[in-house]
Amino acid sequence: MTQFVISAQGTDQATDNEDLFQWLRNEPDLRTAVSLSEPQPTAEELGAIAEVAIAAVSGGGTITVLASSLKTFLTQPRGLHIVLKVTRPDSSTVDLDVERVRDMTVHDLAELIKAATSDKQ
């Protein structure tokens, strides 16, 4: 079981993260695993933007639901290019965007998420 953070890297991060949070909360299998977290701002920042925290995602079925939901979220027409950054507890990251996921199957995206969030390097 791994906890990780997904944050939108679009032009309006706060709104995009809130949209992503609400989107994932609408998935019954993810509802209890999703929360908004507010990281501590760095010395150069006045404040930090809330990010979407995913906890307790361990089962293959839950990862598949997450992958399907993220693919749909990213491929919805929004008029803006949104990149989702998946950050592991060790601070390594994987970027997901519509160009990367458009032609992926949900299974392939689920495997990418499993690899990105695995406790093993």
Domain count, the chain: 1
Nearest to 72 by CA among 95, 64, 56: 64
CATH code: domain of residue 18:
3.30.70
Residue 3, classed as helix, strand or coil, is strand
Which residues form the domain of 106? 2-117
pLDDT score recorded for residue 74? 84
pLDDT score recorded for residue 94? 81
> Could you read off the pLDDT tens digit of each residue along the chain, which spans 121 residues?
567 778 877 777 778 888 888 998 999 988 888 887 776 666 665 555 666 667 656 666 788 888 888 888 888 876 567 788 877 777 788 888 878 788 888 998 888 887 776 655 4
Distance CA 97, CA 109 (A): 11
pLDDT score recorded for residue 121? 47
